[in-house]
């Protein structure tokens, strides 16, 4: 394979539905590329930039931490005040020897959302860093080689 052939194949996008090959081209924010044969979505570009997505995920992380720091229920009856936070509820389940339920509540309300938010934060922080360091390209990424040709703030796979 010649170097020119390799460059040509890196700019081609195959339709997932009918295998038609299309030449990749940069899109405007919010624009979608569709297959000319079957109309399936090939790739799209988000309306939000890397900076906006990073700010959105950072805000979501902050709200998540604040939501878990304060009680979800706060009762006051005849001067006696009692509050329950999510972590406090999980600890109460553990004290009642309901370990499986406590694990399930912890995983679905704390662990999975936190992992999701941290993963998105790491992804967009990496994209932002690659904007700051133009020598880094997604085509060099060992995990996702060639998944996002050109600017990393460009189109993302559907
Ligand atoms: Zn197609």
Summarize pLDDT for 24-53 with one digit per residue, the tens. Answer: 888 888 889 999 999 999 988 888 877 888
**Do 74 and 106 belong to one domain?**
yes
Top-ranked range on mean pLDDT: pick from 8-12, 45-49, 128-132: 45-49
Q: What is the pTM of this model?
A: 0.61
Q: How far, in Å, CA of 125 to CA of 123, rounded?
A: 6
Q: Which residues pair with 13 in a beta bridge?
A: 22
Q: What is the pLDDT of residue 123?
A: 85
Cα 31 to middle of ligand 1, angstroms: 17
Whole-number average pLDDT of the chain: 81
Q: Say whether both 7 and 43 belong to one domain.
A: yes
pLDDT of residue 122: 87
142 inside domain: no
Total domains in the chain come to 2
- CA contacts within 13 A on the Cβ side of 127: 23
Task: Name the residue range of residue 14's domain.
Answer: 1-47
Whether residue 26 is found in the same domain as residue 12: yes
For residue 158, how far is its CA from the centre of ligand 1 (angstroms)? 14
| Domain-located, residue 144 | no
One domain, residues 16 and 34: yes
3-state secondary structure the chain: CCHHHHHHHHCEEECCCCCCEEECCCCCCCCEEECCCCCCEEEECCCCCHHHHHHHHHHHHHHHHHHHHCCCEEEEECCEEEEECHHHHHHHHHHCCCHHHHHHHHHHHHHHHHHHHHHHHHHHHHHHHHHHCCCCCHHHCCCCCCCCCCCCCCCECC
Q: Is the dihedral of CA 19, 38, 146, 116 positive or negative?
A: negative
Q: What percent of the chain has pLDDT over 70?
A: 75
Separation of 22 CA from ligand 1 center, angstroms? 9
C-alpha 81 to ligand 1 mean position (Å)? 62
Say whether pLDDT at 57 is over 90: yes
Share of the chain above pLDDT 90, in %: 41
């Amino acid at each position: 394979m010649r170097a020119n052939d390799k460059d040509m194949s890196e700019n081609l996008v195959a339709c997932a539905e009918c295998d038609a090959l299309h030449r990749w081209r940069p899109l405007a924010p919010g624009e979608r590329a569709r297959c000319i044969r079957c109309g399936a979505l090939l790739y799209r570009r988000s309306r939000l930039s890397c900076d906006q997505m990073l700010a959105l995920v950072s805000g979501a992380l902050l709200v998540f931490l604040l939501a878990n720091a304060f009680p979800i229920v706060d009762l006051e009856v005849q001067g006696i005040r009692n509050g329950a936070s999510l972590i406090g509820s999980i600890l109460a389940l553990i004290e009642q020897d309901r370990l499986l339920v406590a694990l399930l509540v912890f995983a679905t309300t704390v662990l999975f959302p936190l992992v999701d938010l941290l993963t998105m934060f790491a992804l967009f922080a990496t994209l932002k860093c690659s904007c700051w360091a133009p020598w880094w390209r997604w085509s060099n990424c060992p995990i996702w080689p060639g998944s996002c040709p050109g600017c990393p703030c460009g189109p993302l796979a559907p």
